Amino acid sequence: MDRYPSGATPSRPQLKDLLSHLREGDTVVVWRLANLVS
C-alpha cells in the first residue's frame, strides 16, 4: 500500500483495495492504528 499524508478521507481507497485482496487465512499487520483510522 502507498503511504499518503494524514487527512480525513472517509472513502479510504487503499484500505478497500487491501481488503479486496485478502483471502481466508491471510493476516494483516497494522503497524500504527492511528494511520489506519485517521
Q: How far, CA to CA in Å, does 1 sit from each of 9, 10, 19? A: 15, 17, 11
Tell me if 18 sits within 8 A of 35, measured CB to CB: no
- Domain that residue 19 falls in: 12-38
What's the structural domain count of the chain?
Answer: 1
For residue range 1-38, what is the model confidence (pLDDT) as tens digits?
566 565 565 678 888 999 999 999 999 998 877 766 65
Domain membership of residue 4 (yes or no) is no
pLDDT at residue 24, rounded to an integer: 96
Residue 3 lies in a domain: no
Residue 19 lies in a domain: yes
What's the confidence (pLDDT) of residue 17?
92
For the stretch 9-19, pLDDT in tens is 567 888 899 99
Q: Is 17 a domain residue?
A: yes
Does residue 1 lie in a domain region? no
Q: Is residue 2 part of a domain?
A: no
